[in-house]
Structure 1
């Protein structure tokens, strides 16, 4: 029997071993107890810290979510509505495709359509740009046959829903996004994203602890924070609230925000936010954020139209958008896409057969030309005009902005520039001389409807990603595209009954002096030359002077009609800088390409100046009108004056410096004018389309500096214009380029025999040109009844076979061997007879030696370096 003894306050067992009280525990037990206490304290402290930061970041999330919309307000910028007319080359299927891209049937609030054979019935919804009046369009053989309104009335035209050009966020980061809802995201895209990025997204609470631990260990061992491990919610938290740097504190904050998001939103809402926020690369100078914008940027499609292979490509880009950019690295993008497809087999989203079909599909990308697909210079200008006109209203929520742009014509413009500018670069390389670096010029192209002022296409530079400077708004010397205003001033005086000195009313056949002259004023000499020196000495007709852009003859005309009158005409037509000096006649004063587009509407539109416009209407997201904009128009020129000037410009295209466009295959009726100064220009128009092309250096130096041969508008800007117009005429909406409208009352067109300057009849043996005359100012004889008044025309056109020693001065004939008053002699400086080319030879370049050393006699006073042409 065991005996316990108590001695001196201690207890011992029967063997004399002390018996411990309850508090006298072994050391390891005390250590465990201490650890438990520390752990409890840490847990308590951790809970307090967690609670503090949880509440702190709850406030951060609250501020982010409650302080305005989740995403920066996005301006949805729309193109002009496409007009359908009987006779256009369209099918019911192509019209349906257009409506589907606009959102019809998918968004019934916008509108619906139904195709039945070769007919399509359209019904706009309450959110449509138009009213809710529907129509049925009947087609046959690929052509629109008729359009019938809902009430059975036949319509001459019907406008389709405008297409979305782009969505532009109002923030400093130049982000583009198109907001989408979860229901608008294809199921296969959700499956592709979760398969490659977060397979348990719809199951976890926002954190994948196993993956977090694994990545933490890898990062510690590698001493680099490279492992992923973030769920979609964590990626969303990081993208919305945090900087991209990787460190422990940021990761902890990321977790806090992730838990906040998971507690506030369901999985569909989180995925929708993720789908709109995720960065998917760069497009030009803009960041592409969200699947909606990426679908357009990479495939040119609405998100809802993507197939499984395209969904997999977008999902694959998420990891490294620039590295997997399919435009720059198609092989990498293809390999990554196929990895996503195989992941979708593992998650059960695809069968092996479906995956095999998708993997065999090539990558089909939209055009890489940002200017062609998104018109960024145009969009920037729209944005600037909105800020100017609406102020703070322009930033009030999501706006639907309806503009003037024609997307198909914009594509034609951008592609024409992209195709032709490398050829101009090559021309400059071949002509370059010396050691100075080669300067490759910039470019701008503006196309508008000459009868409405609607800007249909705009290219503001060579490459928007490289330079966002919109050259369509850069003020530059206009060169010879200004010259029609000089001739218009002279015609205007004749229309008002004012004769041109002692030569009577001004006409296309009025003689002008093209001899070298001093036009100096105020004691200062000014002796300009022509582009080709000595090419047209003596007297020339007004038609010849404009056809061949003769500087001296044009300034002499401006002198006769009054420099102040020319400058006033220019200012009324939109060139605000014009001043009454001799050089105003040859375009030394500056205007922007946009200004010049407005100037040429005057000639194309019966003397009415139209301000080029881009903005049509602004609506809120409910379709309510915020602002409508009315184009500005004013009559600045008599219709007769406009028509007479247009007639001369038709001759420029047919016979003169712009005949390049005919040689390049553009055959439709057109009027235009080349221009060459420091820069080069071409301004021209058809019955339904006006286009201005400008080319020049950003540093304002002469485009021909350090070149062996001067660059001209005829061999640079005109070819771009011709390429664009050839593309435009292939589009249904511009295929009906026809003859210009009939002349106004008081003006009549006459066929003029070029050899005699008389009205052509059956007896004429030479070529003829159609010229417009004020009634009563036309020639009164025909080829068969020339009478005695043809000597002047024989001399002007060089058609008299016995012209040796003959010159013309001020309308008089000098039959002496020596020239009078500065006209050119037929005897050269070496005493040898010189050959005079007749009108046709001058007009078409016949009889001119190809040997560059055999040049015409130079003027006594060399022209200045800036000789607009």
Structure 2
């Protein structure tokens, strides 16, 4: 009865004493103990022994599953055995009863052998007290312990942690209420399993590559976020290699430079400026010189280079994005205005709000989490509007149903300019740094961008269809260079996942908004193509910004 009074009325005070180490050492602790005794006496007078036992069993602490505490035998029955408490066998009921003495050491999730020993002790005690026969106890002691291995918090522990954060933010105090609480989530268990398998396979492949090095800082880690870009619903989340070894959720908390995954926003800023000012020199077909270049900013010189040390000379915006050319992208940002690029990013309301317009912004030299990258990319599937991510679909507490507020994020860009960048990112997969996905068998229409940061420190790939978006990050926790590019480390994980996730799905094209036109363009000059041009691109333009001159390089 005294434990029940503590659990019901004084749990906050008791937990505070445990955390501060002052249990039994302060007047406050003695006062709390006195209150426990007083309340226990009141309970004894107001409730029967059976009622007190029922209250106790409905709220007693029975350990943790992942990051969630288990309270009550009914919840334990669902989490341990996947069944209602009324359907428990004698062996299963005894196991739960045995856990109460020491929930951590006797949990079947922690130590199956200790859990079995404790169950057998309970069964023997029940037989000695004539609650059950000796024969029934012996039969139950020989029953194998079979716990549910595919519970949600086992298959998606990082998502469950994320869910806890969202509950606190959107429904503060709801988990402290008594009674049953049903939480409906956006998690798709099939996609979660595909994501886990893809990360596991990808990291095994990376381990083999890294094993050739003499010195390693530790195992590489990975994070993956899968969402519906139209709604912001989170379908799957992987926050690391092994949750039981590290509960640090890299999908939510690992802040790393996005690198080249930021480049689409540079071109989006360019097209936004063209739309605002009626300019025709900032289009997907615009040409820049990709060659070694030095910039001066704040009296300092900066001489970046392309990832592979190669330069393509005269190159279009589309090809520069597809091949992830650093110099060409910085020049596109320069033509747009570095401040305009920073201003567009600030409009997303993601990450830093004090981002300044300097040349290196074009290469994503600031920090974001994989979740923030996924959020930013939702604007490409929503006509320039950001969709905040969410994992909770609804909550029901008794007869009371609650739903989270679903709001659109800010409008960052026009529908037409957003489409131009999306159309350009299709070339990443069709002919650029993501083309190996096609070679691996992924054939659906999709757009994406690889990302590799300085010194090959972080590897990224972001890719999406109109209905599904996935972000993959690979790197080391201590920020040591991975030594692999986004194409080498992250893209295979993304490809493996998308092939399984979209197997059997019909191909869905990205919808073209009004105000966008298409023309055949010579790839080498960015001008209207002639029948003699060897490399022709079906290019997209904002209406009124199309080139008027024909190619003069391939005339007869």
Note the alpha carbon deviations across 1:114-142, whole angstroms, 9 max, x for none: xxxxxxxxxxxxxxxxxxxxxxxxxxxxx
Pick from 461, 466, 477 the counterpart of residue 687 of structure 1: 466
Map residues 329-728 of structure 1 onto 2, 5 A cutoff.
329-330=111-112, 363=146, 365-367=148-150, 370=153, 372-374=155-157, 375-386=159-170, 390=172, 400=181, 404-408=185-189, 409-430=191-212, 432-434=213-215, 438-471=217-250, 472-496=252-276, 498-499=278-279, 504-534=280-310, 536-575=311-350, 576-614=353-391, 621-623=398-400, 628-677=404-453, 678-699=457-478, 701-704=479-482, 710-728=483-501
Unaligned runs of 5+ in 2: 26-35
Distance 1:455 1:369, change over 3 A: closer
Q: Deviations over 1:410-464 (max 9, x none)?
A: 454445444533443443333x345xx6133444333332122233334444444
Contact 2:187 2:235 in 1 (8 A): yes
Per-residue deviation, 1:525 = 1.0
Q: Is the 8 A contact 1:603 1:646 kept in 2?
A: yes
Measure the CA separation in 1 of the matches of 2:225 and 2:17. 28
Q: Distance in 1 between matches of 2:498 and 2:247?
A: 25
2:523 aligned with 1:743, yes or no?
no
- In 1, distance between residues paired with 2:227 and 2:233? 5
Corresponding residue for residue 553 of structure 2: 791
| Change beyond 3 A, Cα 1:354–1:337 | closer
Structure 1 residues 310, 737: closer, same or farther in 2, change over 3 A? farther
CA distance in 2, matches of 1:768, 1:309: 72
Contact 2:451 2:486 in 1 (8 A): yes
> How many angstroms apart in 1 are the aligned matches of 2:205 and 2:300?
42
TM-score normalised according to structure 1 size: 0.52
Give deviations 1:483-532, integer Å, cap 9, x for gaps: 00111122223334533xxxx43333322211000112243211100110
- 1:27-106 to structure 2, matched below 5 A, reads 65=5, 69=8
Deviation string 1:802-830 (CA, Å, 9 cap, x unpaired) is: xxxxxxxxxxxxxxxxxxxxxxxxxxxxx
Distance 1:664 1:323, change over 3 A: farther
Structure 1's 280 and 680: CA in aligned 2 closer, same or farther, altered over 3 A?
A: same
Specify whether residues 299 and 670 from structure 1 end up closer, same or farther in structure 2 by C-alpha distance, changes over 3 A only.
farther
1:320-372 Cα deviation digits (max 9, x unpaired)? 65555545655665677688789989968689799869957673532388462
The structural deviation recorded for 1:542 is: 1.6
Counterpart selection for 1:272 from 54, 58, 63: 54
* Equivalent pair of 1:495/1:640 in contact (CA under 8 Å): no
Q: Is the 8 A contact 1:313 1:334 kept in 2?
A: yes
Counterpart of 1:729? 502
- Residues 632 and 304 (structure 1 numbering): CA distance in 2 closer, same or farther, change over 3 Å? farther
Aligned CA distance change for structure 1 residues 532 and 371 (closer, same or farther; 3 Å): farther
Segment drifting more, 487-496 vs 748-757: 748-757
Larger radius of gyration: 1
Q: Which residue of 2 aligns with 1:18?
A: none
**CA distance in structure 1 between the partners assigned to 2:498 and 2:430 by the alignment:** 16
Please report how far the alpha carbon of residue 296 of structure 1 lies from its aligned counterpart in structure 2 after TM superposition.
Answer: 3.8
Contact 2:428/2:447, CA 8 A, preserved across alignment:
yes
Q: Do 1:372 and 1:412's aligned partners in 2 also have CA atoms closer than 8 Å? A: no
Unaligned runs of 5+ in 1: 1-57, 74-169, 176-240, 244-253, 705-709, 782-787, 795-799, 801-869
Number of matched pairs? 533
**1:295 Cα deviation after fit:** 3.0
Asked whether the equivalents of residues 374 and 470 of structure 2 are also in contact (C-alpha less than 8 Å), the reply is yes
Q: 2:434–2:449: 8 Å Cα contact kept in structure 1? A: yes
Paired residues of 1:686 and 1:737 also in contact (CA < 8 A)? no
Against the structure 1 CA distance between its residues 334 and 417, is the aligned structure 2 distance closer, same or farther, given a 3 Å change threshold? farther
Q: 1:479: how far off?
A: 0.8
The secondary structure found in structure 2 opposite 1:633 is coil
- Shift in CA distance, 316/668, structure 1 to aligned 2, threshold 3 Å: farther
Task: Name the CA distance, whole Å, in 2 between partners of 1:336 and 1:541.
Answer: 71
> What secondary structure sits across from 2:474 in the alignment?
strand
Report how far residue 477 of structure 1 moved: 1.9
More displaced 10-residue stretch of structure 1: 470-479 or 341-350: 341-350
Distance, in Å, in 1 between the alignment partners of 2:327 and 2:109 is 52
Q: What's the counterpart of residue 30 of structure 2?
A: none
CA contact (8 A) 1:616 1:629 kept: no
Partner secondary structure for residue 439 of structure 1: coil
* Mapped pair 1:773 → 2:541: yes
Alignment check: 8 A CA contact 1:660 1:715 kept: no
Give distance in 1, aligned partners of 2:15 and 2:112.
31
Cα RMSD for the two superposed structures: 4.6
**Structure 1 Cα separation of the partners of residues 509 and 133 of structure 2:** 60
> What are the superposed Cα offsets for residues 210-230 of structure 1, whole Å, 9 maximum, x if unpaired?
xxxxxxxxxxxxxxxxxxxxx
The alignment partner of 1:445 has SS state of strand
Is the alpha carbon distance of 1:668 and 1:318 closer, same or farther for their aligned partners in structure 2, counting shifts above 3 Å?
farther
Looking at structure 2, the residues matched to 261 and 398 of structure 1 have their Cα atoms a distance apart, in angstroms, of 19
Is the contact made by 1:446 and 1:459 (CA closer than 8 Å) also made in structure 2?
Answer: yes
Cα distance change on mapping 1:174 and 1:418 into 2, 3 Å? farther
Relative to 1, partners in 2 of residues 1:729 and 1:330: Cα closer, same or farther, differing over 3 Å? farther
Cα distance in structure 2, aligned partners of 1:337 and 1:764:
83
Distance 1:756 1:302, change over 3 A: farther
State the alpha-carbon separation in 2 of the partners of residues 173 and 466 from structure 1: 28
Q: Distance in 2 between matches of 1:259 and 1:496?
A: 75
Structure 2 counterpart SS, 1:544: helix
